[in-house]
Amino acid sequence: TNSTSCNCLNGNSGQFCEFSPYLYVSSVYPAYESGGLVELAGSFSHVHKNLSVSIGSYMCYVIEITPYSIKCNIEGFLSYSNFYDISISQNYMEYTGHNIYKPNLMKPCFYGVLIGNECVCDNGWYGENCEMSTVKVYSVTPVSTRGGDIYIHGFFGDITNLYFFINNTIINFNYVSSSYVIGKAPPGNGYQDLRIFNQTSGSVVFEGIGMVYFDPFLCMNNCSYNGVCNFNFSPNCQCDYNWTGEDCS
């Protein structure tokens, strides 16, 4: 009967040199404070008898291991303000790395919930932290060719991150909410484009081609409902008693 044996290097042992004399962690990719996936790099041998991994006082349940990496899932809460020990036991060997684990700061999910390490966003929101909204515009009221109040209905999410433009002119707002805004449109003619810019992402998040109509037969702000619109030559407000101004305001 022929028999062969391996000439082991670097202190390894076993019939196939499968046992490493080294057990240590060289680097750590931590989970968030609430737990989740932890990745360890180091030396972990080819054989993993009676393997266990713990971080602080919590078990980290191994889901994948190679001779050079461990992926495990920790389910307990560990504070970002503290450092923790990592302990590994396998092949009758013990390793403890003192104060080498520091979790990532709790991941914020501004408009969603954190499940594992991922934000699950509320309807209409997206982004790694659910910080950006899926902007939609449902309707825009016509505006006088002289400009004036414009009502824009839709879904805007975090309105503080958005700028609204008619062509290249920014709209200044009198009232804002996540579902509609009231602003001051500049003078204009015909159909003009509406664009919404998100300053967080640095991109245009909505573009409505020809969505704003400047009506030549409409008085400014409908005379603020304090007068009637006179169409003799061009729309002009005939104000009620005690009301004055181009729009009777």
Map out the domains of the chain as residue ranges.
Answer: 24-101, 136-215, 219-249
Burial class (CB in 10 A: 0-12, 13-18, 19+), 191: exposed
Count of CA atoms in the C-beta half-sphere (13 A) of 1: 1
pLDDT at 12: 62
pLDDT at 1: 41
Domains 24-101 and 219-249 share a fold: no
Class of the domain covering 24-101: mainly beta
Four-residue CA torsion sign, 55, 57, 61, 66: positive
Q: Phi-psi region for residue 39, left (φ > 0), alpha (ψ -120 to 50) or beta?
A: beta
Question: 136-215: which CATH architecture?
Answer: Sandwich (2.60)
pLDDT at 6: 72
Coil, strand or helix at 219: coil
Class of the domain covering 219-249: mainly beta
pLDDT at 233: 67
Tens of pLDDT along the chain (249 residues)?
Answer: 445 667 766 656 665 565 567 788 999 999 888 888 899 998 888 777 888 999 999 999 999 988 889 999 998 889 888 999 999 998 888 899 999 999 987 777 877 887 766 888 877 777 877 877 778 899 999 999 989 999 999 988 777 888 999 988 999 988 888 888 999 999 999 999 999 988 877 788 888 999 999 998 888 888 988 888 887 767 888 899 999 988 898
Q: Residue-wise over 141-165: b if at least 16 C-beta within 10 A, else e?
A: bebbbbbbbbebebbbbebebbebb
